[in-house]
Structure 1
Amino acid sequence: MRSGPLIWAALAAAICVPIAAAAASPLLAWRGPLYILAGFAGILALGLVLVQPLLAGGYLPGLSGYRGRRAHRWIGGALVVAVVVHVAGLWITSPPDMIDALLFTSPTPFSPFGVIAMWAIFAVALLAALRRRLGLRTWRIAHMSLAVVIVAGSVVHAMLVEGTMETMTKAMLCALVLAATIKVMADLRLLRRVGKAAGR
């Protein structure tokens, strides 16, 4: 129980430190307010991608079981909003660049990974709305598969972007996103194996 506040403090630091480092970037002096908003929405989205597997695995104190699943849905909705703000802001400030990115014709190497992650996030939101029609097994397979795409695409996108995010704190956040995702997927697979063994 005593580790609960430490876990929450560590999570807050993992998300807030990269945001604070980006806020101190000298590059912001040459950016407009809307572009800055779009950029920080992207950073926040990456932080929310870290929270999601922690909720799914029940690793956050006080948010296990029903509370964890409910929080997972709310954070998923917040992630969609953050991505929409990120993309919309960049679209308004530079429509040609966004068109190239969406058509996968952008010369920047980070663009396709961000676009793929974006569509995967939207796909998960759509599947969540249709969850009752899909069946539990189909939902789990689709959700886990898309989660892998979201994490991989988001991490590669973030690491390739040379912008306001400070390199070390960005790398730390990306490493934590990967570690949390791998951990929860391994634990859930183990739980399914134990459940099958117990059912024999």
Structure 2
Amino acid sequence: MPRARPHSALLLALPFVFAACGGSSMPDPKDAVRAYAEAAARGDADAIYGMLSEKGQRSLSRDEVRRLVGQERKELADQAKALASPGVVVKARARVRYPDGEDATLELEGGTFRISAADALPAGARTPAQALEQLRRVLARRSYAGLLRVLSPSTRSAIENDLRSLVEGLEHPEGLEVEVAGDRATVQIPGGHEVKLRREAGVWHVEDFD
């Protein structure tokens, strides 16, 4: 597709409402693409505004869309031609957000939505923002397995190796030398690890380890 200038790129990037609503059959996303291409070719600002989602209409007023379309008629015409070319591939994606903040991403394949990412399944972030969102979710759930999934392979491998080494070093804790200083203690673990402990209300807790 030809490179779009900022204003027309903004129009194209905003979410559009599928042409059909209601009924038991799912609307074809190609219909929305085709309708947009036709509206862009005509320079029909009202039609383009009508296809914007509620979020899109909150971002741009009808008058703003008319002004942008008036400024970018040639660019929109080029986009319309590109969208109508045989090589265009239309992909539909749905995002389901649950009341607790978790969500799942689905992609349309062969007329059926299939899960591409869910909180309990490995997910591939397509943008840095998605990766950060995944990190927030797993931290909110205190999910160690989820945290490992969002880390890069090298970081995940390093953490797993460190934890494996720590587990092996703690195999016989009764044989380790513990340096106690009041309510604090330090233990050197085979493999180069160190564990710091602290006693509170007569109970020892692990305060830190590396």
TM-score range, shorter chain: under 0.3
Q: Greater Rg, structure 1 or structure 2?
A: 2
Please state which structure has a larger fraction of its residues in helix: 1
| Between structures 1 and 2, the one with greater strand share | 2
Which gives a bigger RCO, structure 1 or 2 (Cα 8 Å, sep 6+)? 1
